[in-house]
Structure 1
Amino acid sequence: MPQAMLPIIDISALFDRAQRDHRERTAARIGEACRTQGFFYITGHRIAEELQRALQAASREFFALPQAEKMRIGMLRGGRAWRGYFPVGGELTSGKPDRKEGLYLGTPLPQGDPRVRAGWPLHGDNLWPERPRELRQAVLDYMAVAERAAHAVLEGVALSLGLDDDWFLRHYTADPTVLFRIFHYPPQAPDEVQWGVGEHTDYGLLTLLLQDAVPGLQVKTRQGWIAAPPIPGTLVCNIGDMLDRLTGGVYRSTPHRVLNASGRERYSFPLFFDPDFSAKVTPLPQHARIDATQVAADRADRWDGASVLAPFDGTYGDYLLGKVGKVFPQLLERVV
Structure 2
Amino acid sequence: MRPDLSAVPIVDLAPLVHGGPDKRSAARAIDEACRGSGFFYVVGHGVDEALAARIDALCRAFFAQDLDRKLEIRMEKAGRAWRGYFPVGGELTSGKPDIKEGIYFGAEHGDDHPRVRAGLPLHGNNLFPDLPGFREAVLAWMAEMTRLGHVILEGMALGLGLPASYFAEHYTADPTILFRAFHYPPPHDASEGWGVGEHTDYGLLTILRQDDAGGLQVKSGGLWIEAPPVPGSFVCNIGDMLDRMTGGQYRSTPHRVHNRSGRNRISLPFFFDPGWDAKIQAIDMGRADGRAGERWDHQDVHEFRGTYGQWLLGKVAKVFPELGRTAGVT
TM over 0.5, shorter chain? yes
Distance 1:22 1:165 in 2: 14
TM-score, structure 1 normalization: 0.94
What is the CA–CA distance in structure 1 between the aligned matches of 2:75 and 2:38, rounded to whole Å?
31
Deviation at 1:281, TM superposition (A): 1.2
Number of the residue aligned with 2:275: 276
> Match for residue 108 of structure 2?
108
CA deviation after TM superposition for structure 1 residue 307, in Å:
1.5
Counterpart CA distance in 1 for 2:214 and 2:311 is 32
Contact 1:47 1:142 in 2 (8 A): no
Alignment pair present for 1:42 and 2:42: yes
**Residues of 2 paired with 1:320 and 1:249: CA distance?**
19
Distance 1:198 1:177 in 2: 24
8 Å CA contact 1:244, 1:251 repeated in 2: yes
Per-residue deviation, 1:188? 1.5
In 1, Cα distance between equivalents of 2:44 and 2:125: 31
Q: CA deviation at 1:47?
A: 1.0
* SS across alignment from 1:127: coil
Does the 8 A contact of 1:73 with 1:85 survive in 2? Answer: yes
Q: Once the 2 structures are TM-superposed, how far is the Cα of residue 118 of structure 1 from its aligned partner?
A: 1.6
Aligned to 1:305: 298
Q: How do 1:177-326 and structure 2 match up within 5 A?
A: 177-222=176-221, 224-287=223-286, 290=288, 294-295=289-290, 298-310=291-303, 312-326=304-318
Does the 8 Å contact 1:218/1:257 carry over to 2? Answer: yes
2:6 touches 2:220 (CA, 8 Å); kept in 1? no
Q: How far apart are 1:303 and its partner, in Å?
A: 2.2
| 8 Å CA contact retained: 1:46, 1:145 | no
Residue 92 of structure 1 corresponds to 92
- Measure the CA separation in 2 of the matches of 1:79 and 1:156: 37
Query: How far 1:5 sits from its partner (Å)?
Result: 2.8
Q: Say whether the 8 Å CA contact 1:218–1:258 is kept in structure 2.
A: yes
- The percentage of aligned residue pairs carrying the same residue is 55
Runs of 4+ that moved beyond 3 A: none
Distance in 1 separating the partners of 2:186 and 2:216? 14
1:64 is matched with which residue? Answer: 64
Deviation at 1:4, TM superposition (A): 4.1
Structure 2: how far apart are the matches of 1:234 and 1:4?
A: 19
How many residue pairs get aligned? The number is: 324
Match of 1:7 in 2: 9
Look up the equivalent residue of 1:167 and give its one-letter code. Answer: Y
Which runs of 5 or more structure 2 residues have no equivalent in the other structure? none
Answer yes or no: is the 8 Å Cα contact 2:14–2:45 preserved in 1.
yes
Matched AA of 1:13: P
Contact 2:39 2:237 in 1 (8 A): yes
CA distance in 1, matches of 2:298, 2:222: 20
Letter in 1 for 2:243: D
**How far did residue 161 of structure 1 move?**
0.7
- Aligned counterpart, 1:175: 174
Letter in structure 2 aligned against 1:326? K
Which letter does structure 1 place at the counterpart of 2:79?
G
Separation (CA, whole Å) in 1 of partners of 2:23 and 2:183: 36
Aligned to 1:142: 141
Partner of 2:121: 121
Can you list the C-alpha shifts for 1:71-127, whole angstroms capped at 9, x where unaligned?
Answer: 111111111111000000000000000000000001111111112112221111100
Unmatched runs of 5 consecutive residues or more in structure 1: none
**TM-score normalised to structure 2 length:** 0.95
Partner of 2:25: 25
Contact 1:4 1:227 in 2 (8 A): no
Aligned to 2:83: 83
Q: Which moved more, 1:148-157 or 1:191-200?
A: 191-200
